[in-house]
Structure 1
């Protein structure tokens, strides 16, 4: 029998790559906390009906891509294909609206869609998302876009382009839907098969087709912006003005409709030229009708999701993996020294230092080579002589300096050691830049 491997469309995220994920999560958590967003964690599987009602049965996600199964209670259950529906379900179930004011929520975790795996797109994929529930103010739309932009720019992305559109309210969309059906019907036989199927079920999605012939036909299709009512136009104008006030450039894209039925008014994508055909790294918009559609009170809302796999691909292109933050690598040799090293490593960690203890039991030479490769700032060396005298050798790997100090002094000199570590860490980026 062969070795068991990960299923197609899933992948292991190994420690070297996890550093990028941790960097993204840390930056996002910091920026979202500053803006008063609170984290929410919802289950990764829900009743299938939640997604059918929320996302829309005519969408590709529900029609083709969901992982749906019957559980032992014969209930139709689905692994979540996106994060908004579950967050809204939780908002309703726990009466978060009763707390008053605007609920600013964010989440991160795995999502599941059955589609052809490719670079940056897996069947199990990960997102960071935000949902602002309880505000119809166009400034909420601008705020979530600004926060997404801040996260991406803080991570070092500079080639971003914001694509912006409005899909209006339900009345606007119905009129526009009728106009699209009238426009595309004469071309039906020239459209790709998916677009032919969408013509009666979900004609707005034809605008999102990747088929070149369909794209060429769609270029002359009516624009949604021509069908916006006065309220929708006013909302969209205010969103654009807020983005201008924030200094965020955007490009109007009337073909941008997003893939889910719950969107109303603002729809947007943030794209990067480094990703080729799969250019979108963040997508979202307003969904004022979803909460009431799922049985909750009438609650306006807006949000977005960032695909982490695509974002990691970008960061890998743009920069090396984040550096290790290891302070000390502790090597030891001899029964007494090894016993002391275990205790000392734990005391140093409890004091506040990042310490890796070499557990190989190999010769000092091999341990010292691993210390050099570890990324630690200093190597702590504990042999029989040091164990006898309750001392330890500290070798600063970045400068080559070495000295013997008492083990207890190592613990009590936290402030001085931390200052030295800070000095070396600030020197390292300067050397790398030369």
Structure 2
């Protein structure tokens, strides 16, 4: 029987995983600088959490969730996104009682959505995101957006576009909702079956439909920004003011609604404008979700956050031909001539590794020539050959593989020699 990786998933092999570690390092550095410590939540939760937290009208809940019944008869779902789980943790652990608000956290881990597999879009994908819960200050919106932009910039991307919008408060959403129903209802038969359902469930989602994106009625639909009340308009202006102060360029797009029901006020996407990146240009999405914590049983706790796919970040780096500095060359390869030398090599390797010197030896019983070829393939900086004469003399020749220079070093001084020269 032949086994293959499940459809929509991938194996990330050595040689590729170092790129992941590099960008993850950028993320961890920035979340430390911005003070968004990591939170880790379970990979599956009660299905109802996502139904309530993400929204029954979303494609995620209706079509894409991996849901199963556990042995206790409870409906569980592999997490399709991070915000609902973090909001649940915020409520369960009474983090709203922390004296310092907002509570700022970051997360990095696999998410699961059953959707059509394509380049950069998987059924198991790795998502990085941050959440700031407990403040409705527009300055925190700007901070979250700046953090997302800096992740991409410090990873090496240059061709970026920030798009922002305001979805207003509940009063605004209701007025706009009715305007959308009045606009689309007479012609809803022209739209896909999903949009026909959305008309009453959540007509705002029609604007986010990929099937009917080119329908003229979508382009002429009432713009939410035209319905902003004074409070919502003022809030949006303040967010833009802070972005201007930070020197962050943006474009206001009234049709930017995002795909999750919990968004209100600020919503944003960061896109790649790199040539050849592909039809789906969105790298990151986020926004404000005042009301979500209350929806899952907590007190009033306004929040904002974003999520980004590691897979799509790496694709954007590839499109811009950015080479990540993932050099991790081997410090030393030990070539052994016989069993006695092998025993000493094992001892040496352990001593080197304990001092932070990366070392490897042959475990395939190969001849000296084959071992030297292996050292070259592994790009070892230094090679030392151990045989009977070296054991007798208690000294070994260490060869610099770049220059070809060799130096005889006593056994007792080998560690210090390598520590001095490996830089």
State TM-score, norm by structure 2.
0.95
Equivalent-residue separation in structure 2 for 1:399 and 1:413 (angstroms): 16
Q: What is the SS of the residue equivalent to 2:106?
A: strand
Equivalent-residue separation in structure 1 for 2:165 and 2:408 (angstroms): 66
Query: Paired residue for 2:313?
Result: 311
**Runs (5+) with no aligned partner, structure 1:** 423-434
Equivalent-residue separation in structure 2 for 1:230 and 1:389 (angstroms): 87
Query: Paired residue for 1:295?
Result: 297
The answer to whether the 8 A contact 2:46-2:77 is kept is yes
The answer to whether the 8 A contact 1:323-1:375 is kept is no
Residues 1:57 and 2:56 aligned together:
yes
The answer to whether the 8 A contact 1:67-1:112 is kept is yes
Q: What is the SS of the residue equivalent to 1:15?
A: coil
Equivalent-residue separation in structure 1 for 2:370 and 2:329 (angstroms): 22
Equivalent-residue separation in structure 1 for 2:370 and 2:272 (angstroms): 44
Equivalent-residue separation in structure 1 for 2:330 and 2:131 (angstroms): 36
The 5 Å alignment of 1:385-400 reads: 385-400=389-404
Residues 1:286 and 2:285 aligned together:
no
Equivalent-residue separation in structure 1 for 2:178 and 2:170 (angstroms): 12
The 5 Å alignment of 1:8-157 reads: 8-101=7-100, 102-157=102-157
Q: What is the SS of the residue equivalent to 2:299?
A: coil
Q: What is the SS of the residue equivalent to 2:414?
A: helix
Aligned-pair CA distance for 1:98? 1.6
The answer to whether the 8 A contact 1:332-1:381 is kept is yes
Alpha carbons of 1:69 and 1:337: their partners in 2 closer, same or farther (altered >3 Å)?
same
Alpha carbons of 1:415 and 1:344: their partners in 2 closer, same or farther (altered >3 Å)?
closer
Equivalent-residue separation in structure 2 for 1:346 and 1:125 (angstroms): 37
The answer to whether the 8 A contact 2:192-2:212 is kept is no
Alpha carbons of 1:313 and 1:380: their partners in 2 closer, same or farther (altered >3 Å)?
farther
Aligned-pair CA distance for 1:268? 0.5
RMSD between aligned residues: 1.5
Equivalent-residue separation in structure 1 for 2:104 and 2:415 (angstroms): 43
The answer to whether the 8 A contact 2:191-2:212 is kept is no
Aligned-pair CA distance for 1:53? 0.6
Query: Paired residue for 1:244?
Result: 244
Which 4+ runs in 1 deviate beyond 4 A? 212-215
The answer to whether the 8 A contact 1:24-1:155 is kept is yes
Aligned-pair CA distance for 1:192? 2.4
**Runs (5+) with no aligned partner, structure 2:** none
Query: Paired residue for 1:349?
Result: 353
Equivalent-residue separation in structure 1 for 2:44 and 2:152 (angstroms): 29
Aligned residue pair count: 418
Alpha carbons of 1:325 and 1:316: their partners in 2 closer, same or farther (altered >3 Å)?
farther
